Amino acid sequence: MSFASKHNKAGRSFDLNTEGFPFMTMKQLYNDPAFGPDTIYPVDGVYVFTTKYGEKPALVSMNNRFFISMPGHQCEEVKKILADPEDVQAIKSGAVGARIVEWDHEKHYFKIEWVDIELPY
């Protein structure tokens, strides 16, 4: 495989149709009575997007039909997930969830905490 064909596929680990999915902030979801702090979101994919402010990680929840924007300090973590075939396969199999955690109660900073989902098989 050529260098170009190998590396131009980066970020395409998940073949999901996310057309029209909005980006939701963790603060929006954490404070939304329909979701709140106890919700575990099934993770169907993780991505690193390039914005005018730099790289920004996000996860996608197909059941909820939206992306969840993640904090920049979790970007390297998402890159490691994308580089690990076992982690990508765990996400594809439905074994990974995410919870939104407020880690600075005064400034209301949020992060994603990963959750193992027990599969029935």
| Ranges of each domain in the chain | 18-116
So what's the pLDDT on residue 110? 95
So what's the pLDDT on residue 51? 87
Taking a C-beta distance cutoff of 8 angstroms, is the pair 103, 111 a contact?
yes
So what's the pLDDT on residue 120? 78
Taking a C-beta distance cutoff of 8 angstroms, is the pair 111, 101 a contact?
yes
pLDDT in single tens digits along all 121 residues of the chain = 544 444 444 445 788 999 999 999 999 999 999 999 999 999 999 999 988 989 999 999 999 999 999 999 999 999 999 999 999 999 999 999 999 999 877 788 999 999 999 887 6
Taking a C-beta distance cutoff of 8 angstroms, is the pair 33, 69 a contact?
no
CA distance 5 to 1: 7
pTM of this structure: 0.84
Taking a C-beta distance cutoff of 8 angstroms, is the pair 71, 56 a contact?
no
